[in-house]
Structure 1
């Protein structure tokens, strides 16, 4: 894929390990959307964990998307690119040995915002798709420390991190949230709530200084009220840093919980 600025966007691919149980329809698929506050990050930063999931029997794919800068907002670019990446996976993964009827989408932080908005919007047949082809039905979606509401992130009251958060959201939206209500609505996961959304696992960190936990808790309640099957886990004592970037006992336990969640959904 080539973005609107002429940059070629890559897709990292991790083939399933030799021990994978292969059916005639192919192995289950995981698509990971990286974090980085919409302004930084690459798929490669979580390579070790993505490789671990591939060793558990998954075809793992992780797309790039256009990153925001101080003079280039991507509120209307990044999520459509993730949506188109999912459509590409549905069309092409079979050639890589994947089963396009068994797809889990996983994202961390800003990547979780993109994963959730893309999958929820695609599940709602009222939403127009940004590219040719259909997004396959997603069997499960996982949001790790998800920035479900960029406006809530912008309004963070943490004395150390609030300036950083405001810088990220300004870049993504192209200005202050108060000046762009339509842009805010377009990037809030809550805009796309419907019973058609895939089963969802949300993981919040109680002591998160970047994505306030109150916004995540509120989102979980609203999603459940909308009829979405939502499992919620809250990690005590943990700060924001995207869990899959760390290799500590908490992170290792978390990826096992993610694995259990998606396997329970037939993946």
Structure 2
């Protein structure tokens, strides 16, 4: 064998060892989310690619078994052990995902799951309208009409995430397509984003309210029944969705004369700014309380009135709309405990709600539109909206 082939073989073997070890570390990180780097990467990636990892681990296990059979070295034996552990770990996690789907009566489309497409989009200017002009700022929303033709549609206002500091309309096109398929006119709304000098804790929900007002005035154009309005959002957008819907319901929102939403769909939402500040959450070096610092301006001690205004739990009344919350138990950005406490408060005040918990899942579990978490969330949203927005 030539020296080049020997080197190539060593490089290939080294790469195989690296990938085998990496897969195992990601699986280990999913079981121990506190693990530095791999605890975060593992819980995110296995949230939507766990079956892919299992398939790779089986292939790697077969390859390492063949290597052990041909050369019974300590390294080849170690590779077999590594890949067997990865198969067992990823198999357990997949079983957990399937059990969770069964618990929530979800039918998994495995073809959709294996497609593994990342759900990221950009604004479509052709279908966007300006709903508010504030000085030199034009705030827009993207309008997606259902394909079926009827006399009246239900409107849903989607609010994108991004830590209150980033993001734009049409950020999650698979969610837009989902709501469109259910007969909703989707109004995907941009709003003022936070910066070091701009803290839109009051402006952001007001922007969404202005978008609702715009549609209310143009209800005949879009053929929408505003009495069947829904507000939905993910992450920071989920927080703004709750803040807006609850603010409309208890009449603390700045824009008056708006219909109270029938329901809120909040996916891993910023439901508790206090938990975000005190929860010591961190994802890839970004501290969760940075979101509060930018959006609200500082700590709860500095701005108690702002935190009370932003916190949905402080605005729960008899008129509070039905609320669906879907969250990962291993969320590194927004502490899951805050979601549970928020759901408990809704329970104590007899507000119709449901908390859907995804074990071993992190923030962004729906970044792949076909993930098990995505499919659970959408099918739960279907049942919830069919019940509370008839």
What SS does the corresponding residue of 2:360 show, helix, strand or coil?
Answer: coil
Q: CA deviation at 1:249?
A: 2.9
Change (3 A) 1:100 1:55: same
Q: CA deviation at 1:146?
A: 1.2
2: CA distance, partners of 1:187 / 1:264: 28
Max radius of gyration: which structure?
2
Please tell me the root mean square deviation across aligned C-alpha atoms, in Å: 2.0
1:16 pairs with 2:158: no
1: CA distance, partners of 2:282 / 2:239: 24
Change (3 A) 1:86 1:242: farther
What SS does the corresponding residue of 1:66 show, helix, strand or coil?
Answer: coil
1:157-209 deviation per Cα after TM superposition (whole angstroms, max 9, x unaligned): 24656852122211111223321111111111111111111111111211111
TM-score between both structures, scaled by the size of structure 1: 0.89
In structure 2, the partner of 1:178 is 301
What SS does the corresponding residue of 2:137 show, helix, strand or coil?
Answer: coil
Q: Which has the higher helix share?
A: 2
In structure 1, the gaps of 5 or more residues are none
What SS does the corresponding residue of 1:45 show, helix, strand or coil?
Answer: coil
1: CA distance, partners of 2:389 / 2:293: 39
Equivalent position to 2:219, from 78, 93, 98: 93
In structure 2, the partner of 1:130 is 254
What SS does the corresponding residue of 1:12 show, helix, strand or coil?
Answer: strand
In structure 2, the partner of 1:209 is 332
Equivalent position to 1:67, from 173, 193, 204: 193
What SS does the corresponding residue of 1:29 show, helix, strand or coil?
Answer: strand
Q: CA deviation at 1:55?
A: 2.4
Say whether the 8 Å CA contact 2:229–2:262 is kept in structure 1.
yes
2: CA distance, partners of 1:158 / 1:102: 36
Q: CA deviation at 1:49?
A: 2.2
In structure 2, the partner of 1:223 is 346
Change (3 A) 1:219 1:162: farther
2: CA distance, partners of 1:34 / 1:112: 8
TM-score between both structures, scaled by the size of structure 2: 0.63
Say whether the 8 Å CA contact 2:275–2:335 is kept in structure 1.
yes
In structure 1, the partner of 2:278 is 155
2: CA distance, partners of 1:103 / 1:74: 24
Q: CA deviation at 1:155?
A: 1.5
Say whether the 8 Å CA contact 1:144–1:243 is kept in structure 2.
no
Say whether the 8 Å CA contact 2:178–2:378 is kept in structure 1.
no
